Amino acid sequence: MKNKLVIGTRKSVLALWQAEYVAGRLREEYPGLTVELLPVSTKGDEILDMPLAEIGGKGLFIRELEYLMREGKADMAVHSLKDMPADLPDDFTLAAVTDREDPRDAFVSLKYRTVEEMPAGAKVGTSSLRRQSQLLHRRGDLCIESLRGNVQTRLRKLDEGQYDAVILAAAGLKRLGLGDRIGSYLTTEESIPAAGQGVMAVEVRKDDRETRAMLAFLHNAHVASCIEAERAFLGCVGGDCKVPAGAFADVKDGRLFVDAFISSEDGKRFYRRQTEGPVSGAKTLGASIAEALLDDGGRRVLEEIAVK
């Protein structure tokens, strides 16, 4: 067994919290193990004046970390799973997905407590086409504006009055001790979360069997089944932040339930379905609901977005 592990991580406060969480769990599991963090700034963190979908998508957050692992400078990288593309490079795999924190989106505002309280024309900040399309489907009279940056940056812009409200992942706010900023939660029915929202993922090289084995205790098989369905859906519809789509899976009474949608960016053409099946068929369920939504009209919507 290795006596030292290096975790590659982004430099944001939330990313460092997540890496420290995994480091702490490893130290508890393996007394005497040395665990170090190697923080890096990724292109996704540095380019903040453009929507993520226009500059390369979610991959911008992980490429530098994968480079560190390929070079042997890091043994693993810890990510918010929702920030990862649906498909990984062939030489990498997810060694563990953690317990799921609150998967819901959170409404944060200095003026209003809920989406319903906002007046027509209120300015809402979000960097997510998934959130944008669902908000506009629900409230087409709102003004959605791009909002990039880490959690603290987004809250600062809200506090400065640049936005009337912002929508953030509840999990990130809670992990940073900022849950008191949440005015209200958007249920998973009101705002279908991003694939993997609330879950941390540990990425490693496929050929690093030793590190993979050491991380096995962190893996939540129940959550992994849900994630498999959500990411299968994501892979079928485009696999990145460039598409207004989302899927949320949960296990109830031994059955896997999936709720998913595809929408136009303005929320006017909105296609949604639910399905259920055996947990063992998670990947098939995710792919089949994606194909059904594409046939419903989602394919034409995504084709139109792709040529913009």
Whether residue 83 lies in the annotated active site: yes
As given in the structure block, the two tokens for residue 81 are 């799973």
Give the closest residue to 63 by CA, choosing from 37, 97, 86, 88: 88
* Pair 65, 77: CB distance under 8 Å: yes
Q: Show the tokens assigned to 137.
A: 């489907």
Q: Which of 45, 75, 83, 250 is catalytic?
A: 83
Write down how long the chain is: 308
What phi and psi values does residue 49 have, to the nearest 5 degrees?
A: -100, 10
CA–CA distance, 303 with 308 (Å, rounded to integer): 9
Return all residues near 184 (Cβ < 8 A) that are at least 6 apart.
106, 107, 113, 114, 115
Cβ–Cβ under 8 Å, residues 203 and 94: yes
Pairing state between β 92-97 and 200-205: antiparallel
Per the structure block, which two tokens stand in for 169?
């992942």
Crossing angle of the two packed helices 13-29 and 151-159, in degrees rounded to 10: 140
Q: Which amino acid is at 239?
A: G
Please, what's the b/e burial string for 100-114 (b: 16 or more CB within 10 A of its CB; e: otherwise)? bbbbbbbbbbeebee
* Helix, strand, coil share (%) of the chain residues, nearest 5: 40, 25, 35
CA-closest candidate to residue 168, choices 260, 92, 106, 100: 106
Write out the catalytic residue numbers: 83
